[in-house]
Amino acid sequence: MKHSKSLYLFILPGLAIYLLFFVYPTINGLILSFSSWDGFSERKWIGLDNYTRMLTGDSIFVRAFQNNMKFMISVVVFQTILSLFFAILLTKNTKKNVIYRVLFFFPTIISSIAVAFIWGFMYNPNVGVINSFLGNIGLDALSNNWLGNPAMAIYSIAFVQVWAHTGQMIVLFVAGLQSIPEELYEAVYLDGANRWQAFRNVTWPLVAPAATIVVAYTTIQSFKAFDLIFALTGGGPAYSTEILSTYIYHTAFQSSEFGYAAAQSMGFMVIIAIVTIGQFKLLRGNRAY
Amino acid sequence: MKKWFSATVFMIALAMFVTGCGNNGNSSKPNENSSAPSKSASESPKSVDNEKEVQISFIHWRGEDTKVFNELIAKFEGENPKIKVEMSIFPSEQYLANAQAKLIDGTAGDVFASYPGAQFETMFKAGLYADLSDVGFKSKYTENLIKAGQKDGKQYAFPYQLVYNQPIYNKAIFEKLNLTPPKDWEGFLALCETLKSNGYVPIAFPGADIGPGQFMNSMMMNNNTDEEIWAKVETGQAKVTDEWFVKTLSQFKELNDKGYFQKDSLGTSKDIAGSLFAQEKAAMLATGSYMLASNLALNPELKQGLLAPITVAADQAVYEGIHTTTFLLGVSARSSKKDAAKKFVEFLSQAENAEKYANETGQLVTVNGVNYSTSELQETVSWTSKKTRFHPRYLISVAAIEKAVTSSIQEVIGGVDPVKAAENAQKIIDQNLKK
């Protein structure tokens, strides 16, 4: 079959949008990353200085990366396990299950700023409902300075992220679980398998492609969880919740170092790419089925 | 092949056209010599009565002043029917980020407000301020209160507000317990202990947001009286690991360890700390005079005063408090409506308008001849005769260093040893030293 070259014209609108809104800003950002620019005066070309500074002379960048990893691991582990657990319970399309799925999905459609406002109030150590509730049931010892304790704050925000996005992942897992043929379960139970063995040998291998998507999506989502952290703690106290995206924002818009912020963004892009590619490689084996 | 070639050429042309339309930091060619603003900028405001109607943009961050500014703008437009004022308000934390692009391309901010210190310096370097040295209304301001808007002997902006960045105290509680503002550190600790033993939170400290950056000023003002100290820290001539700053951090730790801040102060925001104070659960509020009006709105019965902790022996104290002149009103050097913009600044500089602004917002102003009608403002104005120091934190011009300093206070309150917290801050400062 002979293709007409004019067919390529059909990709032009999409290509134009891609070039303008993705390639051009990325290249512009890359060029900016080799400059010193305060956002007002003229740009000054400084070669690799921004990258040298980022890799060898910026302890906050390292700390932000560490916080990112803490946040990402907490969110990926708990969000994946919880969403799979609830998806298994809610696989069948009964009326009750659909209602539960809607309820679990509901936080996903609330804006991050509204979520931050709600949880900021709940976590408040002086007037928040969590500490009040714990106090009222005699568990005062468990009350905490959820967002003000530097050792605790990042995990408190990770909990909110899990709360807000588990419903979204449940939907992906339910779709994966519903595609597993019922006959496989009948066969494995006929062979005398218990529920755990059925999960291990049927459910998990066949839901693995959905798990791959969930893990990859959750990873990227947690790396870029800017709005929630910005609205809840702004990166504090004492950098304890500063992640790469909030740090880049602070570098650009508080320190007015746009060139350095662009270099940090490039580093951030590379980190996300490495983590995502690594995950895909690790989880690729799951696609054997 | 011909079609493919044509399509490629079209694509390149489209891309060049669209990118050419965008604004680029370089393309706008800001005043290359920022200390030499355009000539027209320094002329006196001309009459615009015979010209066609113009609309000027006024940008600032004070959402709480919306009502009074709307009233003042309505009055201004009544007096100047050919000039319309469009006000835009951006949140203070994102003010620079939001205002930046608009100010650069001159599409907004014919009149704009800015903070003193680092923000004023950045905007000045970018050549954004029109020279206002020769305007007639300069004489309406108190001369020694408009220095924050000066550079190289010229006036580029007029600080409109006079703020005292030191704790507010509840006069009724102090009177009830027979307490007076102390003269030294031992007296301050004794005062806090008395308040605590009588069931009050001695100091409501908004440690989650503005607290460290506000309270550090009065806590350090007598520990290091050198007004150039932060400039020295920024250039490596002084360090925060030096005795004076470790002492300041240790004093923060002492206040925290003795329970003189409310529980979990690092999780407390400005609003919550303000409500603890307004409910009279806390006897002091570690913010500044800018919260007097909002406290009163929450509790009209409050009787408030200002004090500052003296962190040294009484005979070593040099300063009694901290002041700032802020909300710097400037006219954009890139505005095409400078005359109308200057007319609006002139209008705000008139005593009767400044008086309305002051009395309705609870802020002192730098304009002469203003009568303050509220007891809070009268209390605050009494501080103009005291020996106060300009807000030290505003003299830190590198934002990363400022954040390292305030974070060290949060670290200490979070349990880190003051020496270690100072070392952590110094490490970040060393990475951001001014070259």
pLDDT tens profile A37-91: 887 778 899 999 999 999 998 999 999 999 999 999 999 999 999 999 999 999 9
Contact A5 B1 (CB under 8 A): yes
* B residues 287-316 lying closer than 8 A (beta carbon) to A: none
The total domain count for chain B is 2
Between chains, do A5 and B3 touch, taking CB under 8 Å as contact?
Answer: yes
Render pLDDT for B116-140 as a digit per residue (tens, 0 to 9): 887 888 888 888 899 999 999 999 9
Per-residue tokens: B107: 């599409």
Q: What is the pLDDT of residue B11?
A: 44
CB-count exposure of residue B408 (10 Å: 0-12, 13-18, 19+): buried
Chain A hits for B97, CB-CB cut-off 8 Å, are: 252-253
pLDDT attached to residue B126: 80
Q: What is the pLDDT of residues B146-195, one digit of tens each?
A: 999 999 999 999 999 999 999 999 999 999 999 999 999 999 999 999 99
pTM above 0.90, yes or no: no
Distance from the Cα of A289 to chain B's closest Cα (Å) equals 43
- The pLDDT of residue A46: 95
The domain in which residue B155 lies consists of 45-163+324-380
Lowest mean pLDDT among B146-160, B229-243, B365-379: B365-379
Closest CA to B3 of A8, A2, A16: A8
Is the domain of B370 the same as that of B300? no
Q: Which residues in chain A come in under a pLDDT of 70?
A: 1-3, 284-289
Check CB contact of B7 with chain A, cutoff 8 Å. yes
User: What is the pLDDT at residue A3?
Assistant: 65
Instruction: Please indicate whether, in this complex, the C-beta atoms of A238 and B272 are within 8 angstroms of each other.
Output: no
- Indicate whether B342 pLDDT > 70: yes
Q: pLDDT digits over B275-319, tens only?
A: 999 999 999 999 999 899 889 999 999 999 999 999 999 999 999
Nearest partner of B82 among B39, B43, B59, B53, judged by Cα: B53
A228 touches chain B (CB under 8 A): no
Provide the pLDDT confidence category of residue B29 given band limits of 50, 70 and 90: very low
**pLDDT above 50: residue B22:** no
Position A176 in a domain:
yes
Q: Which domain holds residue A165?
A: 59-288
CB contact under 8 A, A250 and B1: no
| Same domain, yes or no: B126 and B275 | no
B11 close to A (CB below 8 A) = yes
Check CB contact under 8 Å for B122 and A147. Answer: no
Inspect the interface and report whether the beta carbons of B264 and A125 lie closer than 8 Å. Answer: yes
Asked if B408 has any chain A CB less than 8 Å from its own CB, the reply is yes
Residues B106 and B191 in one domain: no
Query: With 60 as the cut, is the pLDDT of residue B18 above it?
Result: no
Residue A1 has what pLDDT? 53
CB contact (8 A) between residue A250 and residue B25: no
Q: Is residue B14 part of a domain?
A: no
Q: Is residue B116 part of a domain?
A: yes
Residue B12 in domain: no
* Contact (CB<8Å) B398/A255: yes
Check whether residue B107 and residue B150 sit in a common domain.
yes
Best mutation target, B121, B264, B285, B398, to test chain A (most A CBs within 10 A): B264
Tell me whether residue A21 is in a domain. no
In a shared domain, residues B155 and B209 = no
Which CATH number goes with the domain that contains B49? 3.40.190.10
In a domain, A236, yes or no: yes
A254 touches chain B (CB under 8 A): yes
How many independent structural domains does chain A possess?
Answer: 1
Q: Are both B156 and B58 inside the same structural domain? A: yes
DSSP letter at B389 equals E
Partner-chain contact A42 B18, CB within 8 Å? no
B105 vs B373, higher pLDDT = B373
Top-ranked range on mean pLDDT: pick from B8-22, B48-62, B413-427: B413-427
Chain B hits for A24, Cβ within 8 Å: 15, 19
Instruction: For residue B89, give the 3-state DSSP assignment.
Output: strand
Residue type present at position B254: E
Residue B12: the pLDDT is: 43
B264 closest CB neighbour out of A59, A148, A252: A148
B363 with B268, same domain? Answer: no
Q: For residue B338, is pLDDT > 60?
A: yes
Q: Give yes or no for A190 touching B (CB within 8 A).
A: no
A124, A213 contact by CB (below 8 A): no
CA distance A222 to chain B (A): 23
Same domain? For B279 and B218 the reply is yes
Minimum-distance CB partner of A58 among B93, B272, B431: B431
Q: How far is A266 from chain B (nearest CA, A)?
A: 20
Q: What pLDDT does B50 receive?
A: 56
**Residue contact A16–B96, C-beta within 8 A:** no
Q: Is residue B374 part of a domain?
A: yes
Inter-chain touch B414–A149, beta carbons under 8 Å: yes
Examine the domain organization and report whether B158 and B181 are in the same domain. Answer: no
Q: Would you give the end-to-end CA distance of chain B in angstroms? A: 56
**Partner A, chain B 238-267, Cβ-Cβ below 8 Å:** 262-267
The ipTM estimated for the assembled molecules is 0.83
Mean pLDDT of B196-216: 96
- Higher-confidence position of A40 and B404: B404
Is A31 part of the contact surface with chain B (CB cutoff 8 Å)? Answer: no
- Whether B342 and B419 share a structural domain: no
pLDDT of residue B355: 96
Letter string b/e over residues A219-242, b meaning 16 or more CB atoms within 10 A of that residue's CB:
bebbbebeebbbbbbbbbbbbbbb
Q: Would you say residue B236 lies in a domain? A: yes
Q: Is residue B274 located within the same domain as residue B406?
A: yes
Q: Is the dihedral of CA B327, B330, B335, B338 positive or negative?
A: positive
B-chain residue closest to A58, CA distance: B431
User: What's the one-letter identity of residue B310?
Assistant: I
B285–chain A nearest CA distance, Å: 15
What is the number of residues in chain B?
435
CB contact under 8 A, B266 and A255: no
The verdict on B102 and B133 lying in the same domain is: yes
CATH code of residue A161: 1.10.3720.10
> Would you state the pLDDT for residue A287?
54
Q: Which of B93, B276, B411 is closest, CB to CB, to A238? A: B411
Helix (H, G, I), strand (E, B) or coil at B50: coil
Instruction: Give yes or no for B6 touching A (CB within 8 A).
Output: no
Task: Decide if B77 is inside a domain.
Answer: yes
pLDDT of residue B39: 37
